[in-house]
Amino acid sequence: MNFFDALRVSSSGLSAQRVRMNLAANNLANINTTKTAEGGPYRRKMAVFASKPLEKPFGDTLNSRMTGKLSEVQVVGIVDDPRPPYTKYDPQHLDADKNGYVEMPNINLMEEMTNMISATRSYEANVTAIKASKDMALKALEIGK
């Protein structure tokens, strides 16, 4: 693995975790949204990640096939949570049905906070990997002094 490959892999992780953090913040912001443009309550959003082989010139690709594969992460989609909304009895709410029940987004505050903490830790780990790669490159440059 060369210096630039390490940076590309780690930077793809930074981008993916940023998307994950933004989605968690969006879910928390809409925790009480009962009406959307699509109709019905807000649906929780989740990022879908996939491993993508690191693209390289042919010679490097041939070499990496013999020594091991590197891959970066990419966001392949943002999907709605399949869990149905829950109903809450609130006859005073503007979106209540004739029985006084309101459909609320199925967003769990603790689950979203856990996702935010996990995304933050993953982001920090990628920043640390970039810093380590940079430090190794700087030390390699000092050898020539």
103 CA to centre of own chain? 27
Buried b (16+ CB within 10 A) or exposed e, 54-85: bebeeeeeeebeeeeebebbebeeeeeeeeeb
Number of domains in the chain: 1
Quote the pLDDT of residue 63: 56
What's the rounded mean pLDDT across residues 79-89?
94
Average pLDDT, the chain: 88
Domain residue limits at 135: 3-143
- State the pTM of this model: 0.81
Helix axes 109-143, 3-29, angle to 10 degrees: 160
* Whether the predicted pLDDT of 3 surpasses 80: no
The pLDDT > 70 percentage for the chain reads 90
Confidence of residue 131 (pLDDT cuts 50, 70, 90): very high
